[in-house]
Structure 1
Amino acid sequence: MKHISLLAGLFGCACAPAWAQTTINLAPTTIDASEQESTAGLSLDQSSGMASRLGLSVRETPASVAVANRNDIERHSAQNFQDAANTLPGVNASAPPGFGGFVSYRGFTSSQITQMFNGINVAGGLARPVDAWIYDRVELVGGPSSLINGAGSVGGSLNYVTKLATREEQAAEGRVSYGSYDTTETAFGVNHALTDASSDVQHYARLDVSHNTGNGYIDRQERDAWSAAFSLLSDLTPDLSHTLALEYQDEHEDSPYWGTPVLNPKAGELQIDRHNRFNNYNVEDGRYEQRTLWLRSIIDYRLNDSTRLRNTLYHLDSQRDYRNLETYQYNADNSAVNRSTAYQVRHQGEQNGNQFELSHDTRLFGLDSTWSGGFEYKVNQTTNSPLNVKGASSVNPDHYQPGHFYDIPGTKSGYVSDKTNEVTTRALFVENRLALTETLSLLTGVRYDDIALDVTNHRAVTASNPRHLKRSWEPVTGRVGLTWQFIPTANAYVQYSTAVEQPGGTQDFDVSTGKQWEIGSKFNYLDGRGSATVAAYRIERSDFAVTDLQDPTKSIPVGQQTSKGIELASSFKITPKLLAEGNIAWVDARYDDFNEKNAAGMVISRKGNTPTNVPDRVANLWLTYDFAPRLQGGVDARYVASVYADNANTLTVPSYTLFGTFLSFKVDQHTTVTGRVRNLTNEVYAEFAHVSPAYYLGSPRTFELAVQSRF
């Protein structure tokens, strides 16, 4: 309680003048105080990104929008794009193996939160976090947003945007860091004009590369990862440009950490043996590997002053390999750890698609109007090749040999395909912004999707497992919102939005649905020294599959879940030298209709319970101070409330508060040296609660020294 009280007090001091819903992103914090003062408080006028295809700013969009831009990523020292997402209000993201990138937001988790890359909705769990160096920004839209992203997005959407070539003649930057547990980062980026300024056709190229290594804070967990992004921007005519973008990611992790078992008896607040908190119960040759290749071709064409089009043609190829012993539980007297679930699987995915958008400024009924419409076509194909054996063994947690995967009876090398899922999506969408008056605008949009699922069975054909299985859906989603700019520096908005979800697996159900009502405000205050937003919402998710109370062998599409909450954030320059930033979110999430089978095989209603891994409060605070023209320091805090580890709500994982600090020295106009401490108090905490149950522990106290240069 003392941690949350301290954090609430700090947040109240920094942000009491305003309420907010999105993280307010100021221009980069620099040593030059006068430059800071001139750029403070303008972040609401940056692009809202994927929140609308109409090119609206954050301020103009009648929806919850938060953006962590490149300056925010560096100022908050996000190590990967998931760290950047965690700086946004209400987001609680983690990366337990087997879950890709796990996100809890607005009372929803997993597939109810869409994670996109460069505006492309990608299936197949590719959201495992990688180094933030190649990313330009992370965008967040709160609540149902299938209008923008297609099926999914009941709770919200995250979009990770890669750096692209710009029209700078020449720019270069690099970063080298070393930290606890032999964690290293070596990264560089360069943007360069390839043609003379007098040429009719102009070409600009950008290359970003990063290499990360580390031994991990858990025993025997070693990681090696590469990320690279190359893009070529070509101005073919004054009105026509083309961007070719190529990205490659390669990650290898030895003996991945799958969690820390909790002590018996398992009741109430779960506990671990802190003496063995760094034990790794995976086998010696456990492995996680991922390789991802992206190729995009982007055409931008201005037909005239009021009409523009953009077309994005893309190809994605990915492969992920797991080979691990994944489940660990203590025996009755906590003297031994029982290990099980030897799992080897290959996930192969390929997605090809095209997005076309046309925007047009005109007048409708004598009023200014902006239109955006287009179509999307994509084919996503994933093939799983799993091998799952019991793999039971027992070890002494104080002294044990981890063993090897292929020594486990029933395991074997190689992969045998199980099923291939192919999802083909055809979509049409249109948005409009109508200026009803100089201060009042109406935003509307609708999207139609034609979704077809084709499952191919590669194993033995049976009556219950045919060679092919087909399903199809045709949902319609939309959004309507009003924005009222009641004074030049402040507005208020109200919006209603909907979403749909494709049924899981091969269930022959209609899509489940989501709808949201939201009201909010976005404003500057105290002569532009601060910016803030506030939002209140209610989301209802309906008709998802739950176990039939009358027949435990069947599922029926009658599930319902609701959440309601408030999100606030503010960025405020307290003095010319002191910048305060913060956000806080409250959510009340409940199952209205949800059933599941317990360990005895009985079907139990969980009506009124809270979903697992959903904290009801999440808060962030940053204080940055310029001690001298070349010396800057700061502190930060993050609070995450306790979560339930089971749907019965009988097991909990405790809340936690993390503190950090940094000191940065500007050696010259190009180079900065930064020392940083994360988890200053060495808090022992769980980022995620496995249903085993087990903790997925977060990082202990770590130190980092980094040198970054720009030319």
Structure 2
Amino acid sequence: MKHLPLLASLFGCLPVGSWAIELAPTTIDGEQAPEPGLTLDQSSGMASRLGLSVRETPASISIANRNDIERHGAKTFRDAANTLPGVNASAPPGFGGFVSYRGFTSSQITQMFNGINVSSGLARPVDAWIYDRVELVGGPSSLINGAGSVGGSLNYVTKLATREERAAEGQLTYGSYDTTSIAFGLNHALTEPGAEVQHYARLDVSRNTHHTWIDRQQREAWSLAFSLLSDLTPNLTHTLALEYQDEHEDSPYWGTPVRNPKAGELKIDKHNRFNNYNVADGRYEQRTIWARSIIDYRINDSTSLRNTLYHLESQRDYRNLETYQYNADNSAVNRSTAYQVRHQGQQNGSQFELRHEDTLFGLATTWSGGFEYKVNSTTNHPLNVTGKSTVDPNHYDPGHFYDIPGTQPGFTKDKTNEVTTKALFVENRLGLTDTLSLLTGLRYDAIDLDVTNHRTVTASNPRHFKSRWEPVTGRVGLTYQFIPSANAYVQYSTAAEQPSSTTQVFDVSTGKQWEVGSKFDYLDGRGSATVAAYKIERRDFAVTDPLDPTRSIPVGAQTSRGIELASSLRITPKLLAEGNFAWVDAKYEDFNEKIASGAVVSRKGNTPTNVPKRVGNLWLTYDFSPHWQGGMDARYVASVYADNANTLTVPAYTLLGAFLAYNVDQHTRVTGRVRNLTNEVYAEFAHVSPAYYLGSPRTFEVAVQTRF
């Protein structure tokens, strides 16, 4: 706790008696229909706790709001995240929602739910219906989001009750491969107007079923979100929010094997690309429960506070045969890695924040400070056997999991990891002049890890293992508004991430970023744009030992540098253009890897796997008439490496799409959409062994949506 006095002294300097705060909104307005485009004047609580807009914050921030999600036809978290600059997201089983951004992947990209940071994979979004928006912050953001987030942070924000007397919406979708979706949302006042205490409730429910384009794979998912907004007094508001998500997949798809020889650009047998080599009774299940209690209290005209108390429960079950490789002459597929596991986890915590506006030496200033406490506990129950078998890819019986020698029903505990985090943070914005502002912040985390081994105790696997880390992270940034419609900013930020290993002694991994950028409107406000250039450095992290997956190997350093562009332009009153583009150069600066022969090989200068150098999106939307609207979209993802040696690549791809919509009346809209118009065969992820995790072929869908 050697850093605690520093944080305490900072809080002690805050002039409490004259604090003023504008808390981030706790509700969304279902009646608002903002002009499509970049949301530069919307606030984002994950980028700053000071209530600043995207334009005012010296950081790269992107938001896909509800209108964006619907206009772009996003059905899943992957669809919504991929509309944001530089993001390449996919959903292979076992990865809890894989994201590549700014040269970093997996746990180096924090995925948050309503501003709450959870461990990687503990919770995964099921579909997009219950979410109001998806937010993205580029680079280290440990100041706001806690340990992790070296490459960036994604935040999924759930719909909440609004102060509408009555509102309703529904959507019915049917598409290729018997894809169906039924969803509805209701918002209703529970009390009479003028009552001393006002209550408003919202309920959102969605059900999705999909037979999928992969042989034998079937999916069913439910999402439910309920919230109760209570105005207890004119200054005190309480929101109760509950969410439940349930997902089941039969015979999950784990990838398509690549043909031999494995060198250069990897290739598959396109004739068999719909094959599913998993066992007939393969299974993936996920159940997630969230409960939040949110209090907003305005003490006076200049002081407000917020506290969020939350509980998360999660369980994920796997039962699959996961690895597939061709034999030498590509005439048969060798299957292996029978894996049955249950991941059980829960997280309980509280986030408290206080905000204030005042003057300091005659300069306008805003303060925010608070604390966070959370306990995350996860228990794994793995069963892993070789499970080798060989099948003819043209004619085969997938078999059953428990017919594999060494497998058996039931789960046996392995380890329980309990991570307790206590944090203090403070943030300030100081208006140096009418056009120049300084943003600073500091955060102290005390992280305690307690590992309990439920299996045989050995010298390398003791009954208990404990460790503690106390990272301090921060940010400093300048924003210069050189004209009313345009600004420029520069920022320096740091991050810290606890080690991934649970039984070896590693220090925290550290990261830092320099970023410069600009946010502006142009052509008399018909267009808006953002541009950012950055350099990130990460040091002292660990990767899994390829010869022993229970151990980790220390790595020296990784860097990335890149540029991101985003813009929207109302070309004519009827034609809207939107797009973004990102370029990144990511490489290891210090990484020695032990290969199968036992030799240690330097990977310095190599690019990490599954990191595309370029990612771009383009959307064109045209209003033919008040009733008819149509559009085209394109997405480009550059090739990625499938191994640390950078000898194997997965090719680049371009996806095209189109839609046509008809407004039946002011309430109801019918939309027809084609995805992957050219039926591109592509891998959205380079899986282990290696293998293609293929994206969807061309699909069609029709959706009917209504609002009242």
Q: Normalising to structure 2: TM-score of the pair?
A: 0.94
Query: Do structure 1's residue 441 and structure 2's residue 437 form an aligned pair?
Result: yes
Determine helix, strand or coil for the equivalent of 1:607. coil
Separation (CA, whole Å) in 2 of partners of 1:129 and 1:327 = 25
1:611–1:424 distance in 2 versus 1, CA, 3 Å: same
For 1:518, the aligned partner's letter is: E
Query: Do structure 1's residue 322 and structure 2's residue 324 form an aligned pair?
Result: no
1:579–1:474 distance in 2 versus 1, CA, 3 Å: same
Residue 545 of structure 1 corresponds to 542
For 1:123, the aligned partner's letter is: S
Determine helix, strand or coil for the equivalent of 1:132. coil
RMSD over aligned CA atoms reads 1.9
Separation (CA, whole Å) in 2 of partners of 1:400 and 1:321 = 26
Of 392, 397, 403, the residue aligned with 2:393 is 397
Residue 690 of structure 2 corresponds to 693
Displacement, 1:546?
A: 6.2
Query: Do structure 1's residue 95 and structure 2's residue 91 form an aligned pair?
Result: yes
1:239–1:670 distance in 2 versus 1, CA, 3 Å: same
Determine helix, strand or coil for the equivalent of 1:369. strand
Separation (CA, whole Å) in 2 of partners of 1:328 and 1:448 = 45
Query: Do structure 1's residue 137 and structure 2's residue 133 form an aligned pair?
Result: yes
Displacement, 1:465?
A: 1.4
Residue 527 of structure 1 corresponds to 524
Separation (CA, whole Å) in 1 of partners of 2:98 and 2:499 = 19
Determine helix, strand or coil for the equivalent of 1:51. coil
Of 200, 224, 249, the residue aligned with 1:253 is 249
For 2:600, the aligned partner's letter is: V
Residue 451 of structure 2 corresponds to 455
Give yes or no for contact 2:501–2:542 (8 Å, CA) kept in 1.
no
Give yes or no for contact 2:111–2:120 (8 Å, CA) kept in 1.
no
1:416–1:124 distance in 2 versus 1, CA, 3 Å: farther
1:678–1:233 distance in 2 versus 1, CA, 3 Å: same
Residue 508 of structure 1 corresponds to 505
Residue 409 of structure 2 corresponds to 413
- Give CA deviations for 1:427-476 in whole Å, capped at 9, x if unaligned: 00010000111110000000000000000011112222111100000000
Give yes or no for contact 2:501–2:552 (8 Å, CA) kept in 1.
no
Separation (CA, whole Å) in 1 of partners of 2:172 and 2:445 = 46
Of 198, 218, 229, the residue aligned with 1:202 is 198
Residue 586 of structure 1 corresponds to 583
Residue 351 of structure 1 corresponds to 347
Query: Do structure 1's residue 180 and structure 2's residue 169 form an aligned pair?
Result: no
Residue 73 of structure 1 corresponds to 69
Displacement, 1:556?
A: 6.3
Of 594, 617, 620, the residue aligned with 1:620 is 617
Q: Normalising to structure 1: TM-score of the pair?
A: 0.93
Give yes or no for contact 2:37–2:578 (8 Å, CA) kept in 1.
no
Separation (CA, whole Å) in 1 of partners of 2:38 and 2:321 = 50
Displacement, 1:40?
A: 6.1
Separation (CA, whole Å) in 2 of partners of 1:365 and 1:522 = 29
Determine helix, strand or coil for the equivalent of 1:426. strand
Separation (CA, whole Å) in 2 of partners of 1:359 and 1:213 = 44
Determine helix, strand or coil for the equivalent of 2:46. helix
Separation (CA, whole Å) in 1 of partners of 2:553 and 2:385 = 30
Give yes or no for contact 1:353–1:379 (8 Å, CA) kept in 2.
yes
Residue 237 of structure 1 corresponds to 233
- Give CA deviations for 1:19-42 in whole Å, capped at 9, x if unaligned: xxxxxxxx99x9xxxx99x94667
Query: Do structure 1's residue 291 and structure 2's residue 287 form an aligned pair?
Result: yes
Give yes or no for contact 2:122–2:345 (8 Å, CA) kept in 1.
no
Displacement, 1:555?
A: 6.2
Determine helix, strand or coil for the equivalent of 1:74. helix
Separation (CA, whole Å) in 2 of partners of 1:96 and 1:469 = 31
Give yes or no for contact 1:254–1:285 (8 Å, CA) kept in 2.
yes
For 2:692, the aligned partner's letter is: Y
Determine helix, strand or coil for the equivalent of 1:71. helix
Displacement, 1:492?
A: 0.3
Displacement, 1:613?
A: 0.3
Determine helix, strand or coil for the equivalent of 1:275. helix
Displacement, 1:601?
A: 2.2
Displacement, 1:562?
A: 0.5
Residue 370 of structure 2 corresponds to 374
Residue 668 of structure 2 corresponds to 671
1:336–1:556 distance in 2 versus 1, CA, 3 Å: closer
Residue 575 of structure 1 corresponds to 572
Give yes or no for contact 1:532–1:571 (8 Å, CA) kept in 2.
yes
Query: Do structure 1's residue 708 and structure 2's residue 691 form an aligned pair?
Result: no
Separation (CA, whole Å) in 1 of partners of 2:301 and 2:365 = 14
Give ranges in structure 2 of 5+ residues lacking alignment: 1-27
Query: Do structure 1's residue 84 and structure 2's residue 80 form an aligned pair?
Result: yes
Residue 649 of structure 1 corresponds to 646
1:554–1:330 distance in 2 versus 1, CA, 3 Å: closer
Residue 39 of structure 2 corresponds to 43
Give yes or no for contact 1:48–1:61 (8 Å, CA) kept in 2.
no
Higher deviation after alignment, 397-406 or 73-82: 73-82
- Give CA deviations for 1:342-380 in whole Å, capped at 9, x if unaligned: 000000001000000000111111111101110000000
Separation (CA, whole Å) in 2 of partners of 1:167 and 1:423 = 38
- Give CA deviations for 1:583-620 in whole Å, capped at 9, x if unaligned: 00000001000121212222111000000000000000
Separation (CA, whole Å) in 2 of partners of 1:364 and 1:611 = 46
Of 593, 596, 602, the residue aligned with 2:593 is 596
Give ranges in structure 1 of 5+ residues lacking alignment: 1-26
Determine helix, strand or coil for the equivalent of 2:58. coil
Higher deviation after alignment, 103-112 or 126-135: 126-135
Separation (CA, whole Å) in 2 of partners of 1:349 and 1:546 = 23
Residue 475 of structure 2 corresponds to 479
For 1:296, the aligned partner's letter is: R
Query: Do structure 1's residue 192 and structure 2's residue 163 form an aligned pair?
Result: no
For 1:513, the aligned partner's letter is: T
- Give CA deviations for 1:556-588 in whole Å, capped at 9, x if unaligned: 645101000000010000000000000000000
Give yes or no for contact 1:260–1:279 (8 Å, CA) kept in 2.
yes
Residue 682 of structure 1 corresponds to 679
Of 643, 654, 657, the residue aligned with 1:660 is 657
Of 512, 533, 536, the residue aligned with 1:536 is 533
Of 140, 146, 152, the residue aligned with 2:142 is 146
Residue 14 of structure 1 corresponds to none
Determine helix, strand or coil for the equivalent of 1:50. coil
Residue 4 of structure 1 corresponds to none
Determine helix, strand or coil for the equivalent of 1:82. helix
1:504–1:584 distance in 2 versus 1, CA, 3 Å: same
Give yes or no for contact 1:496–1:516 (8 Å, CA) kept in 2.
yes
Alignment identity in percent? Answer: 83
Give yes or no for contact 2:501–2:551 (8 Å, CA) kept in 1.
no
Give yes or no for contact 1:347–1:385 (8 Å, CA) kept in 2.
yes
Determine helix, strand or coil for the equivalent of 2:129. helix
Of 105, 124, 127, the residue aligned with 1:128 is 124
Query: Do structure 1's residue 220 and structure 2's residue 223 form an aligned pair?
Result: no
Separation (CA, whole Å) in 1 of partners of 2:68 and 2:357 = 32
For 2:140, the aligned partner's letter is: P
Give yes or no for contact 1:41–1:528 (8 Å, CA) kept in 2.
no
Give yes or no for contact 2:429–2:440 (8 Å, CA) kept in 1.
yes
Of 151, 158, 164, the residue aligned with 2:160 is 164
1:312–1:209 distance in 2 versus 1, CA, 3 Å: same
Displacement, 1:305?
A: 1.1
For 2:655, the aligned partner's letter is: L
1:264–1:392 distance in 2 versus 1, CA, 3 Å: same
Separation (CA, whole Å) in 2 of partners of 1:611 and 1:230 = 41
- Give CA deviations for 1:140-169 in whole Å, capped at 9, x if unaligned: 000011001111000000000000001111
Displacement, 1:691?
A: 2.8
